[in-house]
Structure 1
Amino acid sequence: MKITYHGHSVLSLIMNDGQKLLFDPFITGNSLTDLTPEKVQTDWILVTHGHSDHIGDMLPIAKRNDATIISIVEICNFAEKNGVNKTHGMNIGGSFDFPFGQVTMVHAQHSSGYEVEGQMLYMGEAAGFILQAEGKTIYHAGDTSYFGDMAFLGENFDIDLAFLPIGDNFTMGPHDAVIAAKLLKAKQVVPIHYNTFPVINQDPEAFITLLPKNIGKVMHVGETIEL
């Protein structure tokens, strides 16, 4: 599989059979991204939680691509009420075998709400995703603080690559993300959710130096790695 980082928490994956996945499609309003909403092509959209900087362009991208949204049930219900034809609702602790691989929805310690016409809608619990596909295991933590049950994830999943937020203020910062990485036992860790707004400015290279040697990797916007 090929994994590309697009700024903030946005990832795109191309599987060996050509299926395309998109995580947390915050494009419009994301000054760091290299994507244009109208040009995005994807088959599946995975959304960790209901904040606008993660739902982002979920609705128009799903409609234009006839893509399936995978998320907590409340977000899927919201998408269906807003004209999306294909959704797959999940909840914390559940796994499902999709054509591209198995997805497990795991806990994230965060809030989740989306404002529509001045009203804040409840969008279910915040979550992270563990993707097991093509012999690899990838963890997208979404927005979360450090929490002790990350040790459970490290014990039960052989994580090849973990995407962890380091921005602080809204999520864990670099120090707590280092502790999280230790519990997760991930072979490689990539920082996400930083520098999009002034309040979450961080130095990703400094974060990497806090990790064990050869564990951390800074992915620049538009950079692709292959697993």
Structure 2
Amino acid sequence: MKLSYYGHSCFAVELKGKKVLFDPFISPNELAKDIDPAQVEADNILISHGHQDHIADAVDIAKRTQATVISNFEIITWLQDKGIENVVPMNLGGLVELDFGKVKYVNAVHSSMLPDGSYGGNPGGFVVMADECNFYYAGDTALTLDMQLIPRYTKLDLAILPIGDCLTMGIEDAITTCDFIQCNKVMGVHYDTFPNIKIDHNKAVERFRKADKDLQLVKIGDTVNF
């Protein structure tokens, strides 16, 4: 699976020839200043929750690309009010079949408020089951026992986990997450963007290695294969 990283928790994957973009937060991110959101393509956009640092560029990209947006009911309603027409509203525990694979919307322990202060519904994560790869994008979350349910319905090839601590779980809880979801290959997200989530990259990678797990910290702007 080809994955392009746009900083913070924003990334895109290619599945069955479709470009699937997650949590578009690019233009306000100083660390992603070399990424032009007007050049980012998407056939589908998945939004985990309503915070600005996960949705800032969603309206502009969705309007330009005519991508189908998948998120919780409240976020979808908010986007429809802004003129977004191609939508799939979900709620926790739901599963949909899309043109690139199956998507299950799973629990995240966090908060969710949209940029204008309105209610953003329940935060969540996504389990994507596709021919190329099965992966779990946790969104913003604390460690939760609900993660242990994921291996009951799919075997993961990759986990995309927040590791910055303070606002989400940190390194140690992310390592425990690997055990819960039975997946030791991890891409880290939600770190370095703000002062309170900066991490020591070398120490993080080494801590995962000592736990017999593989942490990948992808450089912003890079495209890698998983």
**SS class of match (2:148):** helix
For residue 62 of structure 2, what is the aligned residue in structure 1?
62
Q: Which runs of 5+ in 1 are unaligned?
A: none
Per the TM alignment, residue 214 of structure 1 is displaced from its structure 2 partner at its CA by 5.2
Alignment: residue pair count: 223
Write the mapping of 1:57-136 to structure 2, written as runs, cut at 5 A: 57-116=57-116, 120-136=117-133
Percent of aligned pairs with the same amino acid: 39
- The DSSP-based 3-state class of the residue aligned with 1:143 is coil
1:154: how far off? 3.2
- Alignment pair present for 1:208 and 2:197: no
Amino acid at match of 1:208: V
Partners of 2:217 and 2:57 in 1: how far apart? 25
Alpha-carbon distance in 1 for matches of 2:42, 2:106: 23
Instruction: Please name the residue that 2:221 is paired with.
Output: 222
TM-score when normalising by structure 1: 0.93
Tell me the distance in 1 between the aligned counterparts of 2:213 and 2:123: 30
Distance 1:201 1:127, change over 3 A: same
Q: Shift of residue 146 of structure 1?
A: 0.5
- Give the distance between the partners of 1:154 and 1:70, measured in 2 at CA: 23
Measure the CA separation in 2 of the matches of 1:203 and 1:182.
23
CA distance in 1, matches of 2:171, 2:182: 16
TM-score, structure 2 normalization? 0.94
Deviation of residue 226 (structure 1)? 2.3
| Deviation digits for residues 117-136 of structure 1 (CA, Å, limit 9, x no counterpart) | xxx20010000001111142
Note the aligned Cα RMSD (angstroms): 1.4
- Distance in 1 (CA, whole Å) between partners of 2:180 and 2:205 is 16
Q: Is the 8 A contact 1:42 1:67 kept in 2?
A: yes
| 4+ runs deviating over 6 angstroms | none
Note the 1:139-218 alignment, pairs <5 A.
139-211=136-208, 212-213=211-212, 215-218=214-217
Match in the other structure for 1:37: 37
Q: Deviations over 1:22-42 (max 9, x none)?
A: 000001111222421211111
1:84 maps to amino acid: I
Q: Which secondary structure does the structure 2 equivalent of 1:109 belong to?
A: coil
Per-residue deviation, residues 142-161 of structure 1 (Å, max 9, x unmatched): 00000112111134321110
| Conserved? CA contact 2:109–2:142, under 8 Å | yes
Segments of 5+ residues of structure 2 without an aligned counterpart are: none
Q: Deviations over 1:55-107 (max 9, x none)?
A: 11000100011111100011111000101111100111111110010000000
SS of the aligned residue for 1:131 comes to strand
The answer as to whether partners of 1:159 and 1:187 remain within 8 angstroms in 2 is no
